[in-house]
Structure 1
Amino acid sequence: MRLLLGVLLVAQGLALPALAQERITITAPWGQVSAELADNAAARLLLQMLPFTIEMRDHLRQEKTGDLPSPLPAAPRQRDFSTGMLGLWGPDHFVIYYRDGRVPDPGIAILGRLTGDAAIFERPGPVSVRVERAP
């Protein structure tokens, strides 16, 4: 009976389509990093905007922030963030966190997470970044 149950579970798992994780690249003068996007409407619309270049500024020595070409839909929000997180503060305010921390209410919508080293953004001053779909 256990063997039959195990075979059925494996067969069912093989029949389900694999979920593809959408990936982007973010290029700055200091290097390039990849990111995996979250599975939400805001991240899906961000993907449709690509490619774009965005002017970002340093904020509180914890994040780079910049205005997107157009607003994104609402998504669930949270107050805590971690290094490498991509977020949305307001409908069109894109954020790359290079340190851990916490934001005030209403919090940030999670757009994804860097798979590369967020330390490339840990530099004072503004930066122009290119965001595009990963090859």
Structure 2
Amino acid sequence: MRSARWIISAALSLFMTGTTMAQERIRIISEWGDVTAELADNAASRALALMLPLTIGMRDHLRQEKTGDLPSSLPQAARQRDFEVGTLGLWGSDDFVIYYRKGQVPAPGIVILGKVTGDVSIFNRPGYVSVRLERVK
């Protein structure tokens, strides 16, 4: 009986940890404004969360996204080619991306790190911007 309780307890703990990570929220702060995002539930997002707080210099790319270099690589996770407005992605192993337009990238695609829940259009302007990523408490 004690063994069964332990297994149920461990399973519930694992389930709740996954649910909590799926709801992990971060704030992206810049001189242009700030937004909140929910992180995806994957190894890359969990590794990103462990790096926070973090400041990243970002540049405009193809008038659809801001990109910047992370201080170290994130683990690989499933990739996809399509992205929506507000998608947070990982191109390569250390290139953080904020998409402010909808589109598609070439193969092998991007790792989805999360989704902005605020008005990501604040990044829809040319030029460099420094952003700070912090956990929402």
TM-score, normalised to structure 2, is: 0.85
Distance in 1 (CA, whole Å) between partners of 2:68 and 2:55 is 10
Specify which of 37, 45, 48 is matched with residue 46 of structure 1. Answer: 48
For structure 2, the 5+ residue unaligned runs are 1-14
Q: Does 1:113 align with 2:118?
A: no
> Which of 122, 125, 131 matches 2:124?
122
Q: Output one character per residue of 1:44-79: Cα deviation in whole Å (capped at 9) or x when no partner.
A: 000000001000000000000000011000010000
Name the structure with the higher helix share: 2
- Measure, in 1, the Cα distance between the counterparts of 2:16 and 2:74: 28
Q: Which residue of 2 aligns with 1:90?
A: 92
What is the RMSD of the two structures over their aligned residues, measured on CA atoms? 1.1
**When the two structures are superposed, what TM-score results if normalisation uses the length of structure 1?**
0.86
Report deviation, 1:17.
4.3
Distance in 2 between the 1:22 and 1:70 partners? 21
Closer, same or farther: CA 44–17 of 1 in aligned 2, 3 Å? closer
What amino acid is aligned across from residue 78 of structure 2 in structure 1? Answer: P
Instruction: Report the 3-state secondary structure (helix = DSSP H, G, I; strand = E; otherwise coil) of the residue aligned with 2:48.
Output: helix
Match of 2:6 in 1: none
Deviates more, 1:106-115 or 1:17-26: 17-26
Tell me, in whole angstroms, the C-alpha distance in 2 between the residues paired with 1:71 and 1:51.
Answer: 16
After TM superposition, the runs of 4+ consecutive aligned structure 1 residues lying more than 6 A away are none
Alignment of 1:1-135 (within 5 A): 17=16, 19-20=19-20, 21-135=23-137
The higher radius of gyration belongs to: 1
